[in-house]
């Protein structure tokens, strides 16, 4: 693994403002419940949670860059490690691990053993198609898009659906070259 | 040890919740967006009060329950207590937080025609004030959820005369 930026996830997490995680998980749970009531279609709820995550991700990336002091990652491998070791730690206080790399280095899995979103959650039979934590995949997609990486993030394992861990597959679709100077009419 | 997450996780989630309901779902029906956001808060307050009152004796009267919100509950959620509590002793309580965390980074154009905004009324208020008031339905819902779980049905509104000071007005239903 390439050297991490000047600050570790632990150091950042212990220095930033934190709040009671129960408030966080119960609020998220209440939002999901309300969406299920309002939208009826589980598929549509998944979509809205992802959209919510995307919008959060495009904001959190700024905080991530500002507080972590990391500089440009040399490749997607380093990016994934950075998300797992620094990103998850500084925001949610947990670390994730990265595995299952494809040979070309554009697709990997981020595995979360401890997920603070789901401490009080059980899915009823009526919500079997729900990706409860879909906000997380949206956050990663949104954050990476802001640093010029188009990705596709999907859940491959989910404890709420009977698996033994939470696993996100992150696939790099393309690196968007930054254009500079920007054209005036855009 | 109490589990924690970064404050920005909660902040951005609340922002997105408000944006989703008042911007995407009910852009032209703020009262419907408000009702949904309040309902989410109610649910959260209901569940949190269950957890935070687990090991306490039953509250003897309304004032005891309100004091619990001002001290213990507020400390758990916002890491500070309510700064000022007033009551008319006839079922109305005003809880004032001088630096309400969820509004501490919100700014608003001071509108000359009207300074005080009440999230439950005032048609014709400025757009900015309406946007801010959307954020208040959630904490109002939380307070109502806590009290109703403690057996005290009530209505809760909020008043932001000078940001980031925020006053929550609780009217207990007789």
pLDDT computed for residue B109 by the predictor: 61
Which residue's entry shows tokens 């609780």? B170
| Span A85-112, average pLDDT | 92
Name the CATH architecture for the domain at A42-175.
2-Layer Sandwich (3.30)
Burial of B174 from C-beta contacts in 10 A (0-12 / 13-18 / 19+): exposed
Task: Give B59-111 pLDDT, tens digit per residue.
Answer: 999 999 999 999 999 999 999 999 999 999 999 999 999 999 998 877 766 55
Looking at beta carbons, which residues of chain A come within 8 Å of B9?
Answer: 19, 24, 91-92
From the DSSP assignment, how many helices (H) and strands (E) are in chain A?
6, 5
Q: Does the beta-carbon distance from B39 to A34 stay under 8 Å?
A: yes
pLDDT computed for residue B154 by the predictor: 95
- Cβ under 8 Å to A: B residues 44-73: 44, 47-48, 51
Q: Does the beta-carbon distance from B79 to A19 stay under 8 Å?
A: yes
Q: Mean pLDDT highest for which of A122-126, A180-184, B71-75? A: B71-75
Q: Which domains does chain B have, with CATH numbers?
A: 7-172 (3.30.1380.20)
Distance CA B87, CA B169 (A): 10
Selecting from B9, B19, B44 the residue whose C-beta is nearest the C-beta of A55 gives B19
Confidence class of residue B120 from pLDDT cuts 50, 70 and 90?
low
| Span A121-142, average pLDDT | 92
Are B70 and B95 contacting, i.e. CB atoms less than 8 angstroms apart? yes
A181 cis-preceded (ω within 30 degrees of 0): yes
The ipTM value here is 0.87
Q: Does the beta-carbon distance from B4 to A90 stay under 8 Å?
A: no
Domain parsing of chain A, residue ranges: 42-175
Q: Which residue of B has its CA nearest to A26?
A: B44
HSE at residue A145, side-chain half, CA atoms within 13 A, is 17
| Span B129-145, average pLDDT | 90
Q: Which one is predicted more confidently, B117 or A124?
A: A124
Q: Does the beta-carbon distance from A13 to B6 stay under 8 Å?
A: yes
| Span B37-46, average pLDDT | 96
- Candidates B40, B12, B4, B143; CA nearest to A27 is B40
pLDDT computed for residue B124 by the predictor: 47
Looking at beta carbons, which residues of chain B come within 8 Å of A146?
Answer: none
Task: Give A3-53 pLDDT, tens digit per residue.
Answer: 445 578 888 888 889 998 999 999 999 999 999 999 989 999 999 999 999
DSSP B10-76: HHHHHHHHHIIIIIIISTT-HHHHHHHHHHHHHHHHHHHHHHHTTTSPPPSSHHHHHHHIIIIIHHH
Residue B13 forms contact with A (CB below 8 Å): yes
Task: Give A58-76 pLDDT, tens digit per residue.
Answer: 999 999 999 988 888 889 9
Nearest CA distance, A48 vs chain B (angstrom): 8
Selecting from A56, A116, A119 the residue whose C-beta is nearest the C-beta of B12 gives A56
Kindly list the strands in the beta sheet with A166-175, ordered across the sheet, starting from the edge strand earlier in the chain: A97-99, A107-112, A166-175, A149-157
Burial of B86 from C-beta contacts in 10 A (0-12 / 13-18 / 19+): exposed
């Amino acid at each position: 693994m390439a050297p991490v930026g000047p600050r570790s996830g632990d150091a950042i997490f212990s220095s930033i403002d934190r709040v009671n995680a129960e408030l966080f998980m119960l609020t998220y749970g209440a939002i999901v419940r309300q969406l299920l009531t309002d939208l009826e279609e589980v598929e549509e709820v998944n979509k809205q949670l992802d959209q919510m995550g995307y919008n959060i991700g495009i904001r959190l990336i700024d905080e991530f860059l500002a507080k972590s002091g990391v500089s440009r990652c040399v490749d997607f491998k380093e990016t994934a490690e950075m998300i797992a070791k620094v990103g998850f730690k500084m925001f949610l206080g947990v670390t994730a691990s990265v595995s299952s790399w494809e040979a070309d280095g554009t697709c990997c899995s981020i595995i979360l053993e401890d997920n603070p979103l789901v401490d009080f959650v059980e899915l009823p039979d009526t919500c079997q198609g729900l990706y409860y934590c879909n906000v997380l995949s949206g956050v990663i997609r949104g954050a990476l898009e802001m640093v010029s990486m188009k990705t596709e993030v999907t859940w491959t394992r989910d404890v709420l659906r009977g698996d033994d861990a939470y696993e996100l597959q992150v696939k790099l679709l393309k690196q968007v070259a930054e254009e500079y100077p920007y054209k005036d009419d855009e | 040890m109490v589990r924690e997450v970064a404050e920005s996780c909660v902040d951005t989630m609340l922002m997105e919740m408000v944006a989703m309901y008042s911007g995407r779902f009910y852009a032209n029906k703020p009262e419907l967006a408000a009702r949904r956001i309040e309902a989410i808060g109610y649910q959260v307050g209901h569940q949190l009060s269950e957890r935070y009152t687990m090991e306490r004796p039953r509250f003897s009267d309304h004032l005891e329950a309100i004091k619990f919100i001002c001290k213990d509950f507020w400390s758990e959620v916002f890491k500070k207590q309510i700064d000022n509590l007033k009551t008319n002793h006839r079922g109305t309580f005003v809880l004032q937080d001088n630096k309400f965390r969820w509004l501490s980074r919100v700014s608003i154009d001071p509108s000359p025609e009207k300074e005080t905004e009440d999230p439950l009324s005032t048609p014709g208020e400025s757009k900015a004030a309406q946007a801010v008031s959307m954020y208040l339905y959630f904490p109002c819902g939380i307070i109502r959820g806590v009290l109703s779980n403690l057996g005290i049905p009530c209505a809760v509104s909020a008043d932001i005369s000078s940001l980031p000071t925020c006053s929550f007005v609780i009217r207990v239903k007789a």
